[in-house]
Amino acid sequence: MRALSTFARSRDGNIAILFAFMLGALLLFAGGAVDFTRRNAVRADLIESLDAAGLAIAQLESSNPPELAALSGSAREAYLKAYGERFFRENFKHENVVENLAVDFEITPQVIRPRATGSLKTLFLGAANVARKGETGAYQYMSMAADTEITRRGSGPIELALVLDVTGSMNDTIGGVKKIRSLRDASDALLDVLFGDDADATSEFVKVGVVPFSAFVNPGAAKDDTGASVWQSAWSDTNAEAVYHGDRFLHVTSASVIDLNTKVNHFTLFNSNIGTTWKGCFEARPYPLDELDVAPGTSPSGTTITNHAATPTDVTNPLVLSAFSAAPALSLSVPTLTDSRNTKFVPLFAQDAPNCNSSSSSSRACEYGTSTSTRAGITYSGAWFHEPDVNFSSASYPGTVEASGKEDFGNGYIDDRRFTRVLGTPLDKYLPVVNYMRRVLRFHVGGTTSQCPTSPSTTQSDPALYAWLNARGATECFDDEYILRDAYVGTWNASTLKYENKYNLSPTIDEYISEAANDTSLSGPNASCQTPILVQSNKKKKIHDHIHSLAPAGNTNSAEGMMWGWRLLSPEAPFESDIPYNDNEWQKAVVLMTDGFNTVGYREGYRGSNISAYGYAREQRMGVGIDTADEMLTEMNRKLLRICTRMKQKGILVYAITFGLSDSDPDELATKNTFRACANESAAPYYFDAPSGSDLEDAFEDIAADLVKLHVSR
């Protein structure tokens, strides 16, 4: 009994007993690890072989050998599937251990989706009845299934904006071919990569918009791919409330009284029977709203405005850093810039430049003679102003020859004699206005016949008008009438709600004073307003036709072009893309192309420059101190870099191309450096310098291939 009791209390051999109980579980776990390791290896081989088969199908379609080209419809699809399955089985190394292996391919114009299913024999898990029984009950199996996705070239998903230079220099030739022709050919090559060879192709995974730019951009007449207008009046400053709207003009009542409290609405001017309509171009918004993604009619925060020039922390390029550190001070106050009225867009109305032509074609001087005339109680004689415009000689009439001592303001399209010399209502309405202006400049408003008092009053009787004139450089009595001519739009008719007696007069003199003979796109109220924007389209033909309709004219403003390219991609108004920034599937991208450096033409006189989207130099709309054409050019380059930087921070890919530029020209070399810094990277596939048309075509093709290159997407 003692021995039995001792045996019962003994703990010797417990480990062996526990091991006996645990042996089954240990074998199960070890066997399971082996089976799952085998399964993972087989599945990896399965996926890799499916990817290879899908890519092989895509490459076969791309090469389109004769035996495939001869097929169509279901026969072509069956051939491709059989080819893909053969390719799969040649690459799959575990076919001997997978039962009931089935391979199939879903083939669409955008993607190829290979699929495979089967069952893997288990070595250990079947013994524990973990895996499912086979049909015969002899083996245990684990299910095997995998599918992948191959995105074709040209299937995206991409939202792309093509920001294209359509300035006058695109009419020049390289190698005997016009540059605009080379651009069309290059764009065709890009579209072939994106959409394939079918001219009528569409894609649910590619959207392309087109932003033609010169001195201005035309979004107001933008169309979608159905041809419908997309611009909404809510985005325009229809009521002339924005700070710059009508700033160049004077509202004159029907009684010829200047009313500084009433703005001249540009839309109203276009509606005043002036012989043309608004084409859709806008002036740039006040700086820095002209380079920020702010929806029209909204109020940006004061922080957004004050931090606009803050140097980005992730930027190292010296040019980009300089563009932010050298950003000019604001010309307008922060409260003004955060006012929602100033985020709306002001329509372009390029004013008529003063001209002073006599009735003789052989002597087009400003002198009206020394005879004295009295009209509407006002006596006037002699020179009305100091010859501010183009003077014509008999040898070149009607050419544009600028004589020594003459000031050329450009864009003259109304013959001033229609309201300054020809007797009738226009002259009767104009004389009191100019007479009043002269007396204000001499601090004297008393008397009805005095034009330029020799003993002016020392008290300014109209300080508001004097300040308005003085801000524009008017200091002399006779000599500064051209400033009034610039601002004069005629007189207001309260009954018809139209301006009369200037812009509605005829004939005009486009053919004499246009900056480019026989090219009215460069003169008139719509000066340099080009082909409208095409909002994103998924129709190849629509995009092709729009690009092929582009007609070169005007100066270069790549910064304003790029800004509208950004707005085309932005989820914010005005175009409100339905794809958010940094979308998990869609990639936003822009291609910016130019053949020249940014240009603002110099002009004599108080304007200081040609009109551009940023107004005239004297207005300093680009920031404090930017008041010459050369300074505007420098600032446009910096502005472009700031815009590009902000776009890249939003996840937009930026591609840039310079076309036909020389390193030996300082301005062209500066443009190359600016575009390099603008792009995501300073070399291909993000930046290209294209010396020739064939190089331009290669650049467009390479960009398209980089965007939509054949790849495994899932």
Give residue limits of the domains in the chain.
Answer: 23-151, 158-231+280-350+520-712, 249-274+355-408+414-507
* Distance separating alpha carbons of residues 271 and 591, to the nearest angstrom: 37
Is the pLDDT at 359 greater than 50? The verdict is no
pLDDT tens digits, one per residue of 300-346: 999 999 999 998 888 999 999 999 999 999 999 999 999 999 999 99
Both tokens assigned to 568:
């085309």
Backbone φ and ψ for 180, nearest 5 degrees, come out as -65, -35
Query: How high is the pLDDT of residue 391?
Result: 39
* Distance separating alpha carbons of residues 404 and 395, to the nearest angstrom: 16
Strand 206-213 with 158-165, pairing: parallel
* Distance separating alpha carbons of residues 708 and 205, to the nearest angstrom: 10
Query: How high is the pLDDT of residue 711?
Result: 53
**Average pLDDT score over residue span 400-411:** 49
**Average pLDDT score over residue span 525-537:** 93
Query: How high is the pLDDT of residue 393?
Result: 37
Under DSSP, is residue 333 helix (H, G, I), strand (E, B) or coil? Answer: coil
Is the pLDDT at 603 greater than 90? The verdict is no
Query: How high is the pLDDT of residue 261?
Result: 96
Both tokens assigned to 46:
């399965």
Q: In terms of pLDDT, which residue wins out, 444 or 642?
A: 642
Cβ atoms of 121 and 39 closer than 8 Å: no
Q: In terms of pLDDT, which residue wins out, 468 or 393?
A: 468
Query: How high is the pLDDT of residue 125?
Result: 54
532 DSSP assignment? P
Q: In terms of pLDDT, which residue wins out, 407 or 49?
A: 49
Cβ atoms of 502 and 426 closer than 8 Å: yes
Among 285, 243, 499, 480, residue whose Cα is nearest residue 384: 480
Contacts (Cβ under 8 Å, ≥6 apart) of 505: 414, 415, 418, 419, 426
Under DSSP, is residue 576 helix (H, G, I), strand (E, B) or coil? Answer: coil
Q: Is residue 546 within a helix (H) or strand (E), and if so which, with residue range?
A: helix 540-548
Contacts (Cβ under 8 Å, ≥6 apart) of 427: 375, 419, 420, 421
pLDDT tens digits, one per residue of 10-39: 556 566 555 555 555 545 455 555 666 778
| 158-231+280-350+520-712 placed in CATH 1.10.10.60 | no
Assessment of whether the complete model's pTM goes beyond 0.85: no
pLDDT tens digits, one per residue of 261-314: 999 999 999 999 998 899 999 999 999 999 999 999 999 999 999 999 998 888
Under DSSP, is residue 495 helix (H, G, I), strand (E, B) or coil? Answer: coil
Contacts (Cβ under 8 Å, ≥6 apart) of 442: 452, 453, 456, 457, 477
Among 387, 385, 384, 292, residue whose Cα is nearest residue 343: 292
Both tokens assigned to 14:
């417990």
pLDDT tens digits, one per residue of 35-81: 667 788 888 888 889 888 988 888 888 778 899 888 888 899 999 99
Exposure class string for 202-214: b at 16+ Cβ within 10 A, else e: ebebbbbbbbbbb
Is the pLDDT at 93 greater than 80? The verdict is yes
pLDDT tens digits, one per residue of 137-160: 444 777 888 888 876 655 568 999
Query: How high is the pLDDT of residue 610?
Result: 86
Cβ atoms of 650 and 581 closer than 8 Å: yes
Instruction: Tell me how far CA of residue 394 lies from CA of 356, 362, 365, 391, 681, in angstroms.
Output: 16, 4, 12, 10, 56
* Distance separating alpha carbons of residues 251 and 525, to the nearest angstrom: 17
Q: Is residue 498 within a helix (H) or strand (E), and if so which, with residue range?
A: strand 498-500
Exposure class string for 275-313: b at 16+ Cβ within 10 A, else e: eeebbbbbbbbbbbbbbbbbbbbeebeeebbeebbeeee
The alpha carbon of residue 579 and the mean position of all alpha carbons in its chain are separated, in whole angstroms, by 17
Is the pLDDT at 403 greater than 50? The verdict is no
Q: Give DSSP secondary structure letters for 434-475.
A: HHHHHHHHTT----SS-SS-SS--SS-S-HHHHHHHHHTT--
Torsion of CA 57, 59, 62, 64, to 10 degrees: -70
Is the pLDDT at 521 greater than 90? The verdict is no
Both tokens assigned to 100:
């009931």
Confidence of residue 713 (pLDDT cuts 50, 70, 90): low
Cβ atoms of 508 and 163 closer than 8 Å: no
Q: In terms of pLDDT, which residue wins out, 364 or 553?
A: 553
Q: In terms of pLDDT, which residue wins out, 63 or 398?
A: 63
Q: Give DSSP secondary structure letters for 257-295.
A: -EETTS---HHHHHTSS-S----S-BPPPSTTGGGS---
Query: How high is the pLDDT of residue 363?
Result: 36
